Chain A
């Protein structure tokens, strides 16, 4: 344990060493799974970056590779069956994929933390919430049980769990869904991580609670200046919190842009479809828009642009040529051959 710690500090980048530069840089990441049915290419060349204090929303439907990318950053993919044939994940300039397992374990939870979707199953049912939060301090900081418990109460107060002192010895099943997710959050921010990855943190919650949790995340982020990666399939959730959005489809980023631009004027037919499928009050009574067709089968990906079978802008070259990530402007890209037409709003 001791020796692992020293090697880790030798290899790991210093905190805040690179000023305002990228905190996390994912570059051309590929992740595939070896299954009995064949090779599943879950992530095919994803790149994104995150600066301190910045919020990135990664948007996409199930199977788009957004969670797998996050798990690759955390280093919690089961390898095998997963493998990473290509790409790099740089955290403060150091490629995490080149680090030893010991060194990565030193980053996990302490400098890059993660929140999961369903807090009931993500929390251990047989340990009290206080035990689970304080474990961070006991294992990573070598604190005594009593001091670690005090810290756990402080954290529970910080995420605004009522009567934290009385409830610290309760078990996860004794809390409501929203409170459980707060405990999950308390646990993840325990050691002041520089990056927080929230994988669909509100999907299992009802709408009013969703808003509270998002607000809490935004507030914690402002206080600590950490980078936040918010993974979601819900466009409504991200508008208030995210600075920029990366839209994923079939393991690729199809569009990335500052959050305002994307809502105002999407640059990819898929983003456009997602935005149009949000139910709106002023269109009450009209048929709800749905992107036609089904998400692609990762075992048998469409040729050319993976979205072409579902795309209203499709031309002949979409079936044969994979579109590059075209630069729309300095901080905006779209992986569509016809992004200009999409921006103009004219259906081709």
Chain B
């Protein structure tokens, strides 16, 4: 088991290198000069500009610049912005906010996705089932931008009229603690809830047809136990995998949601940095996201072995 974890971590190194090199190349392919952007509308002092270009290795070929960057990363240094601020400092301040958002989304996803999926599976072929399936289709087809703004309008403007100005679900910023993450988290998790609902339904329906469920019935087990223990325990395995892998997706997908709800996380920071051509920040954030992705997948694979005794890692 320990050796397996180490092997997986070593395997993660080429993935990290490839992903960062790719994003490095893409970011530098963006038109515009970051140093010129520092001076805004005016033209900068040519001496200062030349000095800065030298300091940030901007005159070197791309691969050399990448070499400087990645050797820094392995020493725990994500570099500095062109305004001379530590990238790690910028990310640290925003990272927690995005983690909060992603975890809220994940919890909502687990509750609604698994809950609705189970409900549909137990009412298979009935009206409830069809309604749940139809609503997941709608949820998948409507883009986050639309659900975000519609919920803002409904909960922020319309609901407030009913409650006489009292805000139940905050719809912007994060100043009210966990409750402020609920609506953005729901919007962020929207499509995932739909997919998880369908996956849960399929998985449980399939397991309810399994031979060992028939055995459990033949053993005289009460229906609650047949479904809740025998079938569900097996049906959960693919769901945990989906949820774990989705954590990375949720963090990466926070860019739009954070912009809609004005949440100061790394998504919003990423958006601004791309705009301001702060290449070191963009690459830094993506590097962190890649790491989260890799770790989440490793945890999922380890969980897999815990949930399914047929899987063993040597």
Q: Which residues of A contact B (CB under 8 A)?
A: 1, 74, 76, 105-110, 113-114, 116, 118, 121-128, 135-136, 139-140, 171, 173, 184, 187
Contacts and interface: CB of A to CB of B under 8 A. Distances in A.
Interface in B211-262: 211-212, 214-222, 225, 230, 233-234, 237
Contacts of A123: 212, 215
Given A76-B214, A116-B211, A125 B234 contact: yes
A173 B310 contact: yes
B231 to A, nearest CB: 9
A139 B225 contact: yes
A1 B223 CA distance: 11
B54 interface: no
B175 to A, nearest CB: 45
Secondary structure of the A contact surface, majority rule: mixed
Contacts of A187: 219
Given A116-B211, A121-B211, A171-B309, A127 B233 contact: yes
Contacts of A127: 233
A109 B220 CA distance: 5
Contacts of A122: 211-212, 214-215
Main secondary structure on chain B at its contact with chain A? helix
Contacts of A106: 220
B234 A135 contact: no
B32 to A, nearest CB: 56
Interface residues of B, number: 21
Interface of B: 210-212, 214-222, 225, 230, 233-234, 237, 307-310
Nearest to A1: B222
Contacts of A1: 222
B212 A121 contact: yes
Contacts of B309: 125-126, 128, 171, 173
Contact of B217 (A108, A118, A171): A108
Interface centre among A107, A122, A184 (most CB of B within 10 A): A122
A126 B311 CA distance: 10
Contacts of A116: 211, 214-215, 218
A171 B220 CA distance: 22
Contacts of A135: 219, 221
A106 B210 CA distance: 22
B215 A140 contact: no
Most buried by A among B220, B225, B307: B220
